[in-house]
Amino acid sequence: MRKIQAAALLFLTLLAGCSTVPPSVAPAACAPCPACAACPAVAPVALPPVAATPPAFTRSFQPAGWGDLPGWANDDVAAAWPAFLQSCRGVASKPNGAGWKRVCDLARAADGKPGHDPRHFFEQHLQPYAVANGDGATSGMVTGYYEPLLQGSRARTRGFEQPVRGVPDDLLSIDLSAVFPELKDKRVRGRLEGNKVVPYWSRAEITARGEKLPGKTLLYVDDAVELFFLQVQGSGRVRLADGSVVRLNYADQNGHPYQSIGKALVERGELKLEEASMQGIQAWARANPTRLDNLLNTNPSYVFFREVPNSPDGPIGALGVPLTAERSIAIDPRSVPLGSPVFLATTRPNTATTMNRLVMAQDTGGAIKGAVRADFFWGFGKEAGEQAGRMKQSGRLWVLLPMELAPK
């Protein structure tokens, strides 16, 4: 119903004429009515402002040989094979799925067969391409993320007062490409105010509204900054008092752009640049509890969650398949096709020790923008969080593609 309502509201924006059709029904054309002088006055539907659109995205793929991939011969490519099969499952329903069908069919047929060599398979059926920015630069930033564990409760009780919210009932998600095909993948989120669509509440406004926000609160957790980082990671687990664990996954977002609170602390002189890691921010929050809300509200973005079945697998990424610890990455899908194998050459967190390995582009993220840009998934729990929180390295990417998807 929300999707239908949103489409109708967008349609009304284009039809600045007479209409008495309820907003939940999309008319095929303006209903016949008397001359405009007799038409009931209808205020035009105002879409919420869209964040300034960056310049047209540019990147290039440069043909490469397997010998150009540093450490390719030494990587445990077999460790990435299960993640590749997951990518084959997820990419089947994507626009580039037809281009992967031959290779994925061969992969499934070869899986588990005696003598099967994943490295040889990739070399035989795929071609590496170096990813470059539009300006020709081939180096970019590699960060890390993980699946955290929080402590929580189904009911709001003393010590568990931070709400983990589901998608609010009044959040509209408007697919602009439904009317403007050139705006593919562009989506506006907002809410109804009378007969107008206005921007959805910011983080500060959501926090101030508290329980007045329409929609279900899934859980309550014990720590505001941990909840913030749960939203940044996009998925996580919450352990309840009885020992049971609830699995949470990204459901939607309020439509406001992500702003780094670490950057805000650096600009305020509260932290040095090298201290603005997840651990540094957590330490600042512990030392400044009365100033925490003000800091968190510098990021107007707010993430809503949904409960998903608990399983031993990793969280579900944007590709729709479970992520694999240390073999999955989040990318900007305008650059690297979602589902593609990628060879990543970087270094371990806060070190110069090389970390070169085959990974799968199985996720996306609001802060992951640009061609040579990746977010490395470290897995679940505290140790994974320690690695992810410190990771901000330089790196290079090579995307591996079948001949059917070779760049023109």
Domain range annotation of the chain: 57-167+215-259+299-408
pLDDT tops 90 at residue 16: no
Residue position matching structure tokens 């209808």 = 42
Tokens representing residue 77 in the block: 């490519």
Distance CA 67, CA 78 (A): 18
Q: Sorting pLDDT into bands at 50, 70 and 90, what band is 201? A: very high
What is the CATH architecture assignment of 57-167+215-259+299-408?
Beta Barrel (2.40)
Residue with the bigger pLDDT between 371 and 42: it is: 371
- Residues 333-346 have pLDDT tens digits of 989 999 999 999 99
Distance CA 103, CA 121 (A): 9
Distance CA 321, CA 47 (A): 33
Contacts of 97 (CB under 8 A, 6+ apart): 91
Judge contact between 253 and 302, C-beta under 8 A. Answer: yes
Contacts of 35 (CB under 8 A, 6+ apart): none
pLDDT tops 80 at residue 32: no
Average pLDDT score, the chain: 86
Least confident stretch, 35-39, 164-168, 319-323? 35-39
Tokens representing residue 242 in the block: 């009885």
pLDDT tops 60 at residue 1: no
Residue with the bigger pLDDT between 31 and 382: it is: 382
Average pLDDT over residues 154-173: 95
Q: What angle do CA 52, 142, 318 make, to 5 degrees?
A: 65
Distance CA 185, CA 133 (A): 21
Average pLDDT over residues 7-35: 37
pLDDT tops 50 at residue 4: no
Judging by DSSP bridges, how do beta strands 303-308 and 245-253 pair with one another? antiparallel
What would the DSSP string read from start to end of 170-203?
T-EEEEGGGT-GGGTT-EEEEEEETTEEEEPPPH
pLDDT tops 60 at residue 2: no
Tokens representing residue 161 in the block: 């007062």
Contacts of 273 (CB under 8 A, 6+ apart): 266
- Confidence (pLDDT) at 181: 72
Distance CA 360, CA 376 (A): 10
Distance CA 131, CA 140 (A): 10
Tokens representing residue 143 in the block: 């960060």
pLDDT tops 60 at residue 136: yes
Largest CA distance in the chain: 80
Average pLDDT over residues 35-43: 40
